[in-house]
Amino acid sequence: MTSDLENWKTLAADSKAWPFEEARKILKRLEASGRSDVLFETGYGPSGLPHIGTFGEVARTSMVRQALETLSPDVKTRLICFSDDMDGLRKVPDNVPNADMLAAYLEKPLTRVPDPFETHDSFGAHNNARLQAFLDRFEFDYEFASATDYYTSGRMDETLLKILGNYEAVTGIILPTLGEERRKTYSPFLPICPTSGKVLMVPLTARDETAGTISYTHPESGEDITTSVTGGACKLQWKADWAMRWVALDVDYEMAGKDLIESVTLSSKICRAIGGSPPEGFNYELFLDENGEKISKSRGNGLTIEEWLNYAAPESLSLYMFQSPRKAKRLHFDVIPKNVDDYLTFLNKFPSQTPEEQLTNPVWHIHGGKPPAGDLPVSFALLLNLVSVSNADNKNVLWGFIKNYAPEASPEMLPMLDAMADYAVAYYHDFVKPAKSYRNPDETEKQAMISLRDKLNNLSDDLDAEEIQTEVYAIGKTYFEDNLRDWFKALYEVLLGQSQGPRFGSFIAVYGLERTVELINQALNGDLTAD
């Protein structure tokens, strides 16, 4: 089976994987424009720290970029991560040092606000550095762009003058979306006060398209001020700013959350009004918390990227982002184990798949078409259960079980499994252990477990997991013919103190026949519920 670039290119033309579907939209755009280069963009508000949504947008955009490069290797692509660091500081954050100092800088551009951490020239520079460190951590291929740099350097000047020259058309698009009072004072231009340095939200008293200036009355002094719209003397309100950026940079593709669909529509109209072509895009669904409610940074009801990475590798998070991006998904701690094992399943399938199937396999998109070797001897769910029965405080205990099951395995040979063992210990102690609740078996369950114990006592040590699973299944059929789910649920609840787990035959094979017999005896004697 070949993975030759031309072969991938041919197959990708018909692939139904969503990154390829998005890439084909971009190719149509290129055909219409006659261009041979593509600019991808993601946006970031640097008033706070990068979060899991930032990762998701950059990861998904990178997957589309990779798909495009596969479909059309001659196309030159770039990804700009744009920081809106010229926005005014709206409020003092709760989680920064020297917070009192920041109160004097409200409404000033973030790049003109001192850094409360005292590590950078400004608060904006500090958060920009964090963003870049965050993106670098995941080895994204991107160019960083600062709104302050782009405004003050003149890179936006031509397009800012287009906004001014089409002022009536631009405001005609925006005003119908505003309330009555806001319509009276709205302007897409936000001048930077020459004395205070604040970003001012003021109505205009005059415009001069020829001179490239706007006039306004200072809200505090009452002074009539005329200022240029170029050179960083003004910035734009964000919806107009978004459209301006698309035109100024010639952006071809930008994703946005479902909550911004109306904003995308509005900015697209503005983009056309000033002679531009809105980028292709993709609206992804938002994340939900454990109760099915929309995740909000201010409410803190979500899962941070740091929290995810405490318990699982980045690849599992990439899989979460790849899967069903247009479907609202729960983002809570209990989704982590499934995503880890789903990732391993996809990884294990990859070598035996046809090239067509490989292109729809998430690991192709996660690893740039070159996923690592998988084929680990145990799953993450199984590791969690091994931690559970052994109450392990470190991964060395787990490796004892693994080596008995797969003597050739070692941390050096299988670094992915070694890392998983660490994650399993951490996840178990933080989330599984506090919720464990053993129960005693009922009479039917008791008799079934006695039968299982006796069977295991007479099994050969060289039986594999599937053979053991067959025996477990057969006993279940004897006692739970109507509902085998009840049999396996009983095993997990009585022996492991939880409602679900991995294939029980696999658990026995790794944990060991003798240890499992002892575990059953403990359960039958009531030892597991004694506490």
Tell me how far CA of residue 16 lies from CA of 253, 360, 455, in angstroms: 19, 7, 48
Q: Would you say residue 503 lies in a domain?
A: yes
- Span 375-412, pLDDT tens digits: 899 999 999 999 999 988 999 999 999 998 999 999 99
On average, the pLDDT of the chain sits at 92
Q: What is the DSSP letter of 146?
A: E
Structural domain contains residue 205: no
Q: Do both 418 and 465 map to the same domain?
A: no
Would 97 be classed as within a structural domain?
yes
- Give per-residue pLDDT as tens, 483-495: 899 999 999 999 9
448 and 395 share one domain: no
d(Cα 394, Cα 202) in Å, to the nearest integer? Answer: 61
pLDDT band at 9 (very low <50, low <70, confident <90, very high): confident
- Beta bridge partners, 281, equal 254
Q: Is the pLDDT of residue 241 over 70?
A: yes
Residue 372 placed within a domain: no
pLDDT at residue 297, as a whole number: 56
Q: Hunting for tokens 């399993």 — which residue is that?
A: 424
Q: In the prediction, which pLDDT does 428 show?
A: 93
Domain count, the chain: 4
231 located within any domain: no
pLDDT of residue 2: 45
Question: pLDDT of 94-140, one tens digit each?
Answer: 778 998 899 999 999 999 999 999 999 999 999 999 999 989 999 99
pLDDT for 470:
95
Structure token digits, residue 382: 């199984």
Both 309 and 427 in one domain: the answer is no
Query: For 337-350, what is each residue's pLDDT tens digit?
Result: 999 999 999 999 99
Same domain, 429 and 447: no
Final residue of a structural domain among 435, 467, 482: 435
For residues 25 and 88, membership in a common domain is answered with yes
Q: Using CA of residue 511, residue 514, residue 515, residue 516, what is the dihedral sign?
A: positive
Residue 460 domain flag? yes
Out of 339, 366, 393, a domain closes at: 366
Does one domain contain both 318 and 277? no
Answer yes or no: do 241 and 95 share one domain: yes
Residues 78 and 122 in one domain: yes
- Residue 201 in any domain: the answer is no
Q: Give pLDDT, residue 5.
A: 62
What's the rounded mean pLDDT across residues 299-318?
85
CATH number at residue 89: 3.40.50.620
pLDDT recorded at residue 263: 95
User: What number is the average pLDDT over the span 319-347?
Assistant: 94
Q: Give mean pLDDT, residues 281-309.
A: 77
Confidence band, pLDDT 50/70/90 cuts, at residue 302: low
What is the reported pTM?
A: 0.92
**Whether 335 and 479 share a structural domain:** no
Q: Tell me what the mean pLDDT of segment 49-56 comes to.
A: 83
Buried b (16+ CB within 10 A) or exposed e, 248-270: bbebbbbbbbeebeeebebbbbb
Which range (2-16, 122-136, 223-237) has the least confidence? Answer: 2-16
At 199 the three-state DSSP class reads strand
Shared domain check, 295 and 159:
no
Q: Is residue 498 part of a domain?
A: yes
Q: What is the mean pLDDT of residues 44-64?
A: 88
Q: Are strands 37-44 and 143-146 parallel, antiparallel or unpaired?
A: unpaired
CATH of the domain at 449: 1.10.10.350
- The mean per-residue pLDDT over the stretch 61-79 comes to 96
Binning pLDDT at 50, 70 and 90, where does residue 467 land?
very high
d(CA 374, CA 345): 9
The residue segments making up the domain with residue 127 are: 5-170+237-284
CA distances from 488 to 126, 152, 394, 513, 519 (A): 53, 66, 28, 17, 15
**What per-residue confidence (pLDDT) applies to 121?**
95
pLDDT value, residue 1: 41
Confidence of residue 519 (pLDDT cuts 50, 70, 90): very high
Do 158 and 52 fall within a single domain?
Answer: yes
User: In 3-state terms, what secondary structure has residue 23?
Assistant: helix
Q: How far apart are CA 295 and CA 297, in angstroms?
A: 7
User: Encoding tokens for residue 458?
Assistant: 């007479």
**Token pair for 409:** 């395995």
Same domain, 46 and 165: yes
Calculate mean pLDDT across residues 222-238.
96
Which H helix or E strand runs over 80?
A: strand 76-83
Of the three residues 217, 252, 284, the one that is the final residue of a domain is 284
Mean predicted confidence (pLDDT) in 439-448: 96
